[in-house]
Amino acid sequence: MVEILSSPLFGITLSIVAFKAGLWVSQKVKNPIANPLIIAMIIVVGTLEIFDIPHQYFEEGASFILMFLAPVTAVLALTIYRQRAVLLSSFFPVVIGTFTGSLAAMASVLLLSRWLGLEEAIIASMIPKSVTTPVAIALAEQMGGLPALTIASTLITGLGGNLLAPFMIKVFAVKDPVAQGVGIGCCSHALGTTKAMEIGQVQGAMSSISISLSAIWTVLLVPLFL
């Protein structure tokens, strides 16, 4: 049994089965709260806890899946290329929008953390929460943050954007598809972008480019905050 659990296939299989189950539940329930990723996480955590399986066994296989994160993010360039005409016509608004969004994301974390009296290591871990995970982890480590906390805050941010994006678009009456995409990508990186792609092709492309631009702005602006 130990040999099976310690094999990378255990983590990979559990991740795939959990996500497929999440997709099935989401399709049946048809409710934004029934997010496949959230359901998959509950299944994985529940399985490890119920059967008392050490986390490192699951991580052996999950680490292989994590390697695909950066390449998958790069594949988003195809969506951007298909909408290049829209991007060129709105280039400066997109650049300014991502700058403003990145600044607001980091400033809100800093102000709330100072107000709550959080430690510097925690602040450093959460400052880059709105950019894609590989960039956020690298920045947090450079600033003395905790990578595990950075991953958690980045995941929560992405899931929040994925779940709330359609609702926020309606509440603030954002009609322009470019603005919708930029807002989603700037605030909630790749997880939000998956929802943007469901909303529309233009939104998905603008959200994809926002991931890259927001990462650049965050890298440049982080030294001003800590």
- Give the model's pLDDT for residue 100: 93
Number of structural domains found in the chain: 2
- Give the model's pLDDT for residue 2: 56
Q: Mean pLDDT for each 10-residue chunk of the chain (226 residues)?
A: 66 87 86 79 89 80 71 68 78 90 92 91 90 85 88 88 88 91 88 86 86 87 80
Cα 105 to Cα 80, 109, 157, 201: the distances in Å are: 24, 7, 10, 25
Helix (H) or strand (E) holding 7: none
Whether residues 96 and 12 fall in one domain: no
Q: Give me the domain span that covers residue 12.
A: 2-67
User: Can you give the pTM of this predicted structure?
Assistant: 0.77
pLDDT tens per residue, range 74-124: 666 676 677 778 778 888 988 899 999 999 999 999 999 999 998 989 999
- Give the model's pLDDT for residue 41: 85
Whether residues 115 and 183 fall in one domain: yes
Burial (CB count <10 Å: 0-12, 13-18, 19+), residue 193: buried
Rounded distance between C-alpha atoms, residue 124 and residue 24, angstroms: 37
Domain boundary among 45, 67, 89: 67
